[in-house]
Structure 1
């Protein structure tokens, strides 16, 4: 511990030696609330019952909004899959979204009609789940749908549907594999587990097994695993058991019990000796990984290992961050995590080596730090900080009944631990954790032989692509349902939008506030009129570096002290940047709001910009830029802004983390100048959602910001300069070994900030705005060339181009662009929005409103958007009437006037030797850029 204290002391001296950047000294910080008081606030009361067929039902009542979260968890995941059938559970997750015997269209269709939100499904080692949040009046339809795919599915599982969803899943796999370090998960599982271990293969499975899956195989898989007796159904929200029981009995009661899933016998494997694997990938920096198998969720050591991971590399103030990143500057990023599953888990530690540093040096130091932790354990303060952070996150998550909120928490406990309230045991274990228990668990499990993985920059190893030729499309035979008509959508539930109030701090800074009392939590956004448009011409990346530096030291606190203070408060504090605004945010238990705001104010108003920290973060930013130049999406997003906005537009400055040549030369003075020009009270508005009354929130913010005055001249954006988009073309960025191509298209528009966008966004619902939109249904569901594709207006303060995004398999890149151009041209031409699409868009837009604003984050986003686009604060309180006033001719005319597909510019990121021949016949000029050249574009 002496080394750590010395590092902290030196950093304090360096920070305090810098000239003051503000006139007012920070105020003494208030004290945080004790963690025991926070834990008492976590409660999800529930009742439960079981049907005769074995379906277990858990009900939680939360009347804050007229919505119900429906969460169905099947006790089947990839660990149940035998050899040769990897990926079956995940494949069936897709098939079970694809329609059932009495609801034969894709499930998104009837759920969108009723206003469903948070609609999705997922598969992992231990389970498959489906979830949606719906207006309570739509609960009948939703339970009909969920029961239909449980008990009435196989009549519509046809060869045609199997072939399509197999293609979609394979492109989901390609999409993940295509990212930097995308093969990490495969190497990790191969290194930790024997080949035949239930946890020894990825959930997405192998291409060969997916190719080999027959229709009989997948039907047998369903019959064996998806019965009601293997399922937990959770209903959370505006419902109670008396209402739920007859509904669940009505829709699920007749489904017969199926075979009982037998959880596989699982051992926690221990390597006979340390194992080391070195592999190469097209990455910018070497990543070192250390991994062990460990116990699962129900084991007494699981929580202690969570804490160990947090202290080692999960906290912002972690041991590895302080030593390898901040102190010795050997790594640009470190992480430690304990991934706990039902029957076991794996503990991983990783470090991304700083470019120019010998990976062997970092490996030696990493192993020494791990050994030191095992020998001495954590301090009480480290344990307490981790516990506070976790409890704070739990409180914040319980605001939502759906998603990863209350329903999922109850379902996971019921399925994995036979206890919906298992979260309380986890919190109790967390509160009881001691430095001694953490050290004992870490020493027990992490002193065993380690699996070491090194991923080095270089040509990626051979990629396991699909091996069977494309299959001819099979027409699905008709099927007649047996359960009668689907229940109606139910009565429309009006949105109750909270009152938004405005006031001003003592210095005139405007405060925009709304109260939400679902959880004792406060979220605040400091929004500065800056953003991408304010970055410094010729020095792109200045703003990114300045924002990063706000977390790295004030006049009185160094970066470690800032991180530790956040953790003691259970607060998340960070910085962000959009096209028009730069933000600083704080999210904290309301009991700790005052000290959290004090810390935020110190960070925003009194940054030290220590030369040593500037150098460290500049190097980290350069490493991040190098990593962006290996990522397909980042490459495309770097090139497109200049093409679509024109090189002279302030929005053309969007270049990821910046221009590497410029960032390398940035100085402390550059950062101070930018901070003084843009982070000042004249450019600030504050948005808050809290359970606390406005007076309390204002008092806390006045204490932190009410006496703030700017110095020097404020920054000015140059939107008066005439600028023009590029002529239609294709820019191909050559990224070898890419199994997919990322296609990004953009159409410039003449839309302005004063335009009414509701007709446009509603019209786009059927073109690119959701799962059922034409772009996605064409490339994903019909062609199965993509995992997903979309289109949308990207609305900035001074521009609103239309963007299309479509990652597609490499050999279908050219045909995919042809299809996208066809969809765009048809929609504004001979195949406009239909009455069916219009009715669906209006129904979805109006009925989804109660669920759309369930969380404080959603409300905060709406408040900021209303302000930026000069809409009234009660815009969403009256939006239902606005939707009802729209007409189909109005929508078609609006999008036809806004979008001219002949002006589209396309950026493609893929393997040029495969893709370029496909593009040459499209009829647009094609320019090829090597990926390495993208970073030098100005």
Structure 2
């Protein structure tokens, strides 16, 4: 299935030398993949789909409107996206921010998105908040127009334009708009992108906006999916109550298939401030529901998904002319696009990369895929489909999948047909379909009669929000502990809802372990672990993973290094054997080191091309000092000089010093038991013994806070926004007041309606988002207040951030209402955060990393309820020290330096320095 292919193969790589197998052998082994549901159509035309999933007391509410940017007439480009924002701003009967009543109700995975063909709104909520959520969603569907006034239109227009600037300020940020214009004729509805036109948005009138809503957001143009811990009959009654009296809306025309096939070769060149050249090649192909788009998605996976794909092997491994290559099908309703995108290595030849892409494409069109290649991508599709059954949310979970197929294909069942098409696909069918789309395409238009819909004469009480029910308690499965015969600790949390088991070997190492070696060693060492182990070279190892549907990954954070395995229960034993090879017998091949080194160096250049990347590279040394273990760039990537000097012996030494059984804990989460898993682990890891050398040590010394604020300026010529970061050091995660400090930080900038965001985004319209957060660390950890802002409002935004921080310590302490909101938004979202095995594993990784009690998460609700405003305001004083702030501002200094320097004395700043992106002082 094309969506599943894209999701699965982003993390999958293969093509080992294996015996040929029947085309559907692996796919058949996974059995039937199906999402049970019931579908209803209300008398007003609203389509309702209900899926029951009782593993957690959580419900996903997902509303899809069949309107997107392709429905915008000339002069109104960007209206669908603008309306997505307006629908979060309040309705006639709840005229306030949509997030405000849901975040304290425990909502998670809450957002709205706009695409070419649809606009959707979704949230996961505790079962106790379902009525409130349905009331809110139905109120903005049926009762929105009266809440839209000129002030609100102006406010959200400013927010949308800041989002557009923020996207276009990123490297390659203007490519999508350019490709859309160049690959479709001017009259085609995909010739502009959903982000919109600044000219059209500025010209939008209040009448235009209200007419747009009345035309496109009726009940008959919407699909509502409710998935989770619900009873179908009861939910249907609730939906009839809340949505049944909403008018259907007028009859609409929906554009039919229009592939707009291109002919010949068309070329263009553009320039942008990017660290590496990039080659994009794009073909127009059939739309979302067309079986041939499904075939072409499988072809894309053969060509570009994973290390063993043809283009990745050719460009990244063999030629080493590119640091990255992606082959995608972007499936949209009336026509899709097949694209190849390759990032040229620094100093490389773009024309050589283009020739290699064309060579591989022609070879595929001539010969098609091998049976082994096709088996690989089929396995990836079905492995992803199985894992997808665990999630209900709107970010690609089951509720989103049911809605997507209903809106685009007229039935939620289309995905089952796509899976069968995957089973039936052959090398010849993929080759023939790929060949066909070198020929012309077709345009068709279909007009259907509009049914005589009738809205109910009455509905829900709109005079007030429904009260929240009693929130569900958080009850995570307990951690079970054991020790293997070699002394390695294991911790297990059983979760039997899906046949998957996750493993994470957590070693006390991380970027901080680079302190007495070359910066970037931890990152490169862990990246090399899956580049060959035991009898496998890098490609054979990736192929072995794909053969059994396993996903092995490795990496580091600040304090830990980890090696993860996501295994299917049916393939648990061979997955563990492969996992043990990676952990115990890494090969560190010199040829792979050179390739990985180039990629890490390229990643450093990418960081230095982005404002946030520059700030993350510099704040660590500014806060902790050059000699502290935490002085490494926050990404752990090191410096160009340090990475260039790393050798295989450096990586082997790091591995042997830090990755040892007495310095690690193996966390297991999923469909297993201690009785089952312990013998399997003994078999694989029992012979792994700690060396005689003492355990390594990291000197995480306490750093004294500065006595006065300071300012660091970094130039980014031509930047369309400035990034402001105000940072200082806060107590460690293990501090007894950690929870109170989390709540304090949440009131400042931890959610949409927090003080900083409401000030800079909603009130001033200077930023797309402003936030505050506390990082994670065993020792002192960073606290940030940060925002990307309009260039001409840089100094003014610094004043506002400083004022918010000062006010929180003085004239505007946290109020009881803010505390209740922050507490609810932090703790009531926890059931949703722990819905999946990966979410549960992340929670328990926090416990093991920072030495917290096993019951930390189950205790957090009663502990938070015991905190009052006095405790949280006291924690605010423990967290914030404005006199110790380090201000980092990245932007076009030709435009912002003078006003920022003029402002500095009023913030108490006399220490001002200008650094380059590497942290070298310029003045």
Q: TM-score, normalised by structure 2?
A: 0.92
Question: Of 238, 245, 264, which residue of structure 2 is paired with 1:254?
Answer: 245
User: What is the rounded CA distance, in whole Å, between the counterparts of 2:391 and 2:325 in structure 1?
Assistant: 31
User: What is the rounded CA distance, in whole Å, between the counterparts of 1:362 and 1:247 in structure 2?
Assistant: 57
Verify the 8 A CA contact 1:676 1:712 in the aligned structure 2.
no
Q: Are 1:237 and 2:216 counterparts?
A: no
Name which of structure 1's ranges 240-249 and 843-852 shifts more when overlaid on structure 2.
Answer: 843-852
User: What is the rounded CA distance, in whole Å, between the counterparts of 2:438 and 2:920 in structure 1?
Assistant: 41
User: What is the rounded CA distance, in whole Å, between the counterparts of 2:144 and 2:384 in structure 1?
Assistant: 38
Instruction: Name the SS of the counterpart of 2:789 in structure 1.
Output: strand
Q: Are 1:497 and 2:471 counterparts?
A: no
Question: Of 692, 699, 708, which residue of structure 1 is paired with 2:679?
Answer: 699
Aligned residue in 2 for 1:204 = 195
Shift of 1:372: 0.9
Q: Are 1:436 and 2:428 counterparts?
A: yes
Aligned residue in 2 for 1:572 = 551
**How big is each residue's C-alpha offset from its partner over 1:829-873, in whole Å with a ceiling of 9 and x where there is no partner?**
110111211122233344333223212222111111112222221
Shift of 1:878: 2.4
Shift of 1:362: 2.1
Shift of 1:132: 0.9
Aligned residue in 2 for 1:175 = 166
Verify the 8 A CA contact 1:87 1:210 in the aligned structure 2.
yes
Aligned residue in 1 for 2:34 = 43
Aligned residue in 1 for 2:465 = 486
User: What is the rounded CA distance, in whole Å, between the counterparts of 2:265 and 2:202 in structure 1?
Assistant: 35
Shift of 1:896: 1.4
Question: Of 514, 523, 535, which residue of structure 2 is paired with 1:544?
Answer: 523
Question: Of 52, 55, 59, which residue of structure 2 is paired with 1:68?
Answer: 59
Name which of structure 1's ranges 584-593 and 710-719 shifts more when overlaid on structure 2.
Answer: 710-719
User: What is the rounded CA distance, in whole Å, between the counterparts of 1:836 and 1:170 in structure 2?
Assistant: 32
**How big is each residue's C-alpha offset from its partner over 1:76-132, in whole Å with a ceiling of 9 and x where there is no partner?**
111101111111001101000110011111010111232111111111011111111
Instruction: Name the SS of the counterpart of 1:118 in structure 2.
Output: strand
**How big is each residue's C-alpha offset from its partner over 1:175-196, in whole Å with a ceiling of 9 and x where there is no partner?**
1111111111112112211122
Instruction: Name the SS of the counterpart of 2:195 in structure 1.
Output: coil
Aligned residue in 1 for 2:72 = 81
Gaps of 5+ in 1: 1-10, 14-32, 450-480
Question: Of 298, 302, 312, which residue of structure 2 is paired with 1:311?
Answer: 302
Question: Of 817, 822, 838, which residue of structure 2 is paired with 1:836?
Answer: 817
Question: Of 742, 745, 756, which residue of structure 2 is paired with 1:764?
Answer: 745
Name which of structure 1's ranges 540-549 and 770-779 shifts more when overlaid on structure 2.
Answer: 540-549
Aligned residue in 2 for 1:469 = none
Shift of 1:447: 7.0
User: What is the rounded CA distance, in whole Å, between the counterparts of 2:170 and 2:871 in structure 1?
Assistant: 41
**How big is each residue's C-alpha offset from its partner over 1:10-39, in whole Å with a ceiling of 9 and x where there is no partner?**
x999xxxxxxxxxxxxxxxxxxx9634554
Aligned residue in 1 for 2:380 = 389
User: What is the rounded CA distance, in whole Å, between the counterparts of 1:379 and 1:667 in structure 2?
Assistant: 37
Question: Of 780, 786, 804, which residue of structure 1 is paired with 2:767?
Answer: 786
User: What is the rounded CA distance, in whole Å, between the counterparts of 1:499 and 1:263 in structure 2?
Assistant: 52
CA gap 1:752/1:844 in 2 versus in 1, 3 angstroms: closer
Verify the 8 A CA contact 1:767 1:775 in the aligned structure 2.
yes
Verify the 8 A CA contact 1:630 1:931 in the aligned structure 2.
no
User: What is the rounded CA distance, in whole Å, between the counterparts of 1:45 and 1:722 in structure 2?
Assistant: 55
Question: Of 483, 488, 499, which residue of structure 2 is paired with 1:509?
Answer: 488
Instruction: Name the SS of the counterpart of 2:372 in structure 1.
Output: helix
Shift of 1:384: 1.1
Instruction: Name the SS of the counterpart of 2:365 in structure 1.
Output: helix
Q: Are 1:866 and 2:855 counterparts?
A: no
Question: Of 597, 615, 628, which residue of structure 2 is paired with 1:636?
Answer: 615
Q: Are 1:652 and 2:631 counterparts?
A: yes
Q: Are 1:587 and 2:566 counterparts?
A: yes
Name which of structure 1's ranges 751-760 and 631-640 shifts more when overlaid on structure 2.
Answer: 751-760
Q: Are 1:412 and 2:404 counterparts?
A: yes
User: What is the rounded CA distance, in whole Å, between the counterparts of 1:104 and 1:523 in structure 2?
Assistant: 44
Instruction: Name the SS of the counterpart of 1:637 in structure 2.
Output: helix
1:648-727 correspondence runs (5 A) = 648-654=627-633, 656=635, 657-711=637-691, 713=693, 716-719=696-699, 721=701, 723-724=703-704
CA gap 1:188/1:702 in 2 versus in 1, 3 angstroms: farther
User: What is the rounded CA distance, in whole Å, between the counterparts of 1:772 and 1:642 in structure 2?
Assistant: 32
CA gap 1:715/1:81 in 2 versus in 1, 3 angstroms: farther
Shift of 1:688: 1.5
User: What is the rounded CA distance, in whole Å, between the counterparts of 2:26 and 2:855 in structure 1?
Assistant: 37
User: What is the rounded CA distance, in whole Å, between the counterparts of 1:235 and 1:395 in structure 2?
Assistant: 20
Name which of structure 1's ranges 356-365 and 50-59 shifts more when overlaid on structure 2.
Answer: 356-365
Aligned residue in 1 for 2:837 = 856
**How big is each residue's C-alpha offset from its partner over 1:759-798, in whole Å with a ceiling of 9 and x where there is no partner?**
1112222111111110111111111111111101112001
User: What is the rounded CA distance, in whole Å, between the counterparts of 1:400 and 1:721 in structure 2?
Assistant: 42
Name which of structure 1's ranges 145-154 and 650-659 shifts more when overlaid on structure 2.
Answer: 650-659
User: What is the rounded CA distance, in whole Å, between the counterparts of 1:273 and 1:491 in structure 2?
Assistant: 63
Q: Are 1:900 and 2:892 counterparts?
A: no
User: What is the rounded CA distance, in whole Å, between the counterparts of 2:921 and 2:591 in structure 1?
Assistant: 26
User: What is the rounded CA distance, in whole Å, between the counterparts of 2:640 and 2:695 in structure 1?
Assistant: 23
Instruction: Name the SS of the counterpart of 1:65 in structure 2.
Output: coil
Q: Are 1:289 and 2:280 counterparts?
A: yes
Name which of structure 1's ranges 481-490 and 312-321 shifts more when overlaid on structure 2.
Answer: 481-490
User: What is the rounded CA distance, in whole Å, between the counterparts of 1:133 and 1:680 in structure 2?
Assistant: 40
User: What is the rounded CA distance, in whole Å, between the counterparts of 2:869 and 2:917 in structure 1?
Assistant: 47
Q: Are 1:518 and 2:518 counterparts?
A: no
Verify the 8 A CA contact 1:12 1:557 in the aligned structure 2.
no
**How big is each residue's C-alpha offset from its partner over 1:789-838, in whole Å with a ceiling of 9 and x where there is no partner?**
11011120011231122111211111111111111111121101112111
**How big is each residue's C-alpha offset from its partner over 1:40-81, in whole Å with a ceiling of 9 and x where there is no partner?**
252211111111100010111111112211111100111101
CA gap 1:831/1:447 in 2 versus in 1, 3 angstroms: same
1:392-471 correspondence runs (5 A) = 392-403=383-394, 404-446=396-438
Instruction: Name the SS of the counterpart of 1:113 in structure 2.
Output: coil
Q: Are 1:822 and 2:766 counterparts?
A: no
Shift of 1:259: 1.1
User: What is the rounded CA distance, in whole Å, between the counterparts of 2:898 and 2:467 in structure 1?
Assistant: 51
User: What is the rounded CA distance, in whole Å, between the counterparts of 2:738 and 2:234 in structure 1?
Assistant: 40
User: What is the rounded CA distance, in whole Å, between the counterparts of 1:929 and 1:549 in structure 2?
Assistant: 36
User: What is the rounded CA distance, in whole Å, between the counterparts of 1:772 and 1:722 in structure 2?
Assistant: 34
Aligned residue in 1 for 2:454 = none
Name which of structure 1's ranges 147-156 and 783-792 shifts more when overlaid on structure 2.
Answer: 783-792
Cα RMSD (Å) of the superposition? 2.2
Shift of 1:161: 0.6
1:75-224 correspondence runs (5 A) = 75-224=66-215
User: What is the rounded CA distance, in whole Å, between the counterparts of 1:444 and 1:694 in structure 2?
Assistant: 54
CA gap 1:796/1:846 in 2 versus in 1, 3 angstroms: closer
Shift of 1:649: 1.5
Q: TM-score, normalised by structure 1?
A: 0.90
Shift of 1:572: 1.9
Name which of structure 1's ranges 219-228 and 325-334 shifts more when overlaid on structure 2.
Answer: 325-334
Instruction: Name the SS of the counterpart of 1:788 in structure 2.
Output: coil
User: What is the rounded CA distance, in whole Å, between the counterparts of 1:113 and 1:655 in structure 2?
Assistant: 31
User: What is the rounded CA distance, in whole Å, between the counterparts of 1:752 and 1:881 in structure 2?
Assistant: 19
User: What is the rounded CA distance, in whole Å, between the counterparts of 1:760 and 1:780 in structure 2?
Assistant: 24
Name which of structure 1's ranges 121-130 and 435-444 shifts more when overlaid on structure 2.
Answer: 435-444
Instruction: Name the SS of the counterpart of 1:878 in structure 2.
Output: helix
Aligned residue in 1 for 2:719 = 738
CA gap 1:231/1:125 in 2 versus in 1, 3 angstroms: same
Instruction: Name the SS of the counterpart of 1:767 in structure 2.
Output: helix
User: What is the rounded CA distance, in whole Å, between the counterparts of 1:420 and 1:602 in structure 2?
Assistant: 42
Gaps of 5+ in 2: 1-14, 18-23, 442-459
Verify the 8 A CA contact 2:141 2:219 in the aligned structure 1.
yes
